[in-house]
């Protein structure tokens, strides 16, 4: 019996070592704090009820009678969905499962934009999930701009505290006249308050909601150092239901909803005007533990910081 155990000991030790390396390659494991679940306050709808094909239709596969969707990037094309409606303010959520394996250069974007309507001065609010090099985690980048100020990047980057390839996780944007909040599994990772300093570039025009997967080889992974390797294709992001609730644009009215709380604008009321204590604590946790880049601290990029960085 002892002899058998001794023979198996190297194998057991090897397995334990592999497990430790696997865990440590993702860094320390953190349990997020409890926060209010904004995703429970809004209705989830089937993907095909909230979205139309934006591009790459042959690489979009609706499943479960249209409740879910797989978006594919391969050598022929990426793919994308666009919301059926345009919104002025709202709460927008995508439950996503990301592709695993070698995904350098792959970009998955969940965002709001009106570039089609305002090509020279458009607004945008972005979640961008950037593929990784071997054994590195996916990077979550947030950004926003208004009135076409694309030359002034307002990016922040965090590592996720979970493996986004093994199950579905919620990526949410809350946008109203008070602030913009980026949330991951209901944990705020960033808040942009609509202050006097940032108001000139605060998104203020109706936007559509998009989910896309595409080739970002030129910039996405270490500034374009690692391109998409299509021998690992297809790369598939799965979307499990959606939440697209807000003030829907009527006709060609630029700002169709009252800036005061109203039934037309479900996220502009007092409940959504500022973070709760739990949400603020959750955001502090996420930023202390997981954020590794903030544009307001990038003195090599900006000789003169954007005004909101000094506010």
Work out the number of other CB atoms within 10 angstroms of the CB of residue 48: 18
> How would you classify the pairing of strands 68-73 and 139-145?
unpaired
Is 218 among the catalytic positions?
no
Distance, in Å, from the CA atom of 170 to the CA atom of 97, rounded to the nearest integer, reads: 9
Distance, in Å, from the CA atom of 136 to the CA atom of 138, rounded to the nearest integer, reads: 7
CA 104 centroid distance within chain: 17
Work out the number of other CB atoms within 10 angstroms of the CB of residue 21: 10
* Residue from 301, 283, 311, 299 nearest 153 by CA: 301
**Per-residue tokens: 221:** 């992974």
- Write out the H or E segment, with its range, that includes residue 279: helix 277-290
Catalytic residue among 128, 191, 243, 245: 128
Is 124 among the catalytic positions?
yes
What three-state secondary structure class fits 11? Answer: helix
Q: In the beta sheet, which residues pair with residue 212? A: 80, 109
**Per-residue tokens: 60:** 């979009």
Catalytic residue among 124, 156, 191, 308: 124
> Among all residues, which ones are annotated catalytic?
124, 128
């Amino acid at each position: 019996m002892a002899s058998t155990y001794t023979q198996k000991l190297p194998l057991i030790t090897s397995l334990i070592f592999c497990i430790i390396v696997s865990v440590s390659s993702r860094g320390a494991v953190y349990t997020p704090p409890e926060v209010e679940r904004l995703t429970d306050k809004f209705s989830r709808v089937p993907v095909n009820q909230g979205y139309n094909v934006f591009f790459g239709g042959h690489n979009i596969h609706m499943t479960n009678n249209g409740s879910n969707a797989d978006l594919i990037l391969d050598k022929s094309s990426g793919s994308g969905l666009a919301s059926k409606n345009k919104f002025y303010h709202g709460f927008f959520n995508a439950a996503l499962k990301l592709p695993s394996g070698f995904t350098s250069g792959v970009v998955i974007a969940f965002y709001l934009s009106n570039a089609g309507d305002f090509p020279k001065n458009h607004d945008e609010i972005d979640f961008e999930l950037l593929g990784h090099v071997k054994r590195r985690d996916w990077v979550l980048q947030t950004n926003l701009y208004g009135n076409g100020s694309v030359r002034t990047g307002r990016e922040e980057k965090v590592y996720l505290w979970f493996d986004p390839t093994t199950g579905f996780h919620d990526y949410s944007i809350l946008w109203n006249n008070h602030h913009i909040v980026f949330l991951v599994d209901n944990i705020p990772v960033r808040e942009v308050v609509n202050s006097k300093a940032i108001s000139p570039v605060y998104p203020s025009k109706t936007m559509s909601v998009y989910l896309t997967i595409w080739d970002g080889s030129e910039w996405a992974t270490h500034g374009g150092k690692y391109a998409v390797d299509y021998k690992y294709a297809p790369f598939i992001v799965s979307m499990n239901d959606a939440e697209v609730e807000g003030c829907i644009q009527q006709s060609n009215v630029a700002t169709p909803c009252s800036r005061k709380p109203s039934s037309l604008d479900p996220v502009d009321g007092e409940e959504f005007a500022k973070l709760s204590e739990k949400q603020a604590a959750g955001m502090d946790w996420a930023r202390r533990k997981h954020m590794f880049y903030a544009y307001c601290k990038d003195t090599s990029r900006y000789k003169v910081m954007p005004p909101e960085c000094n506010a």
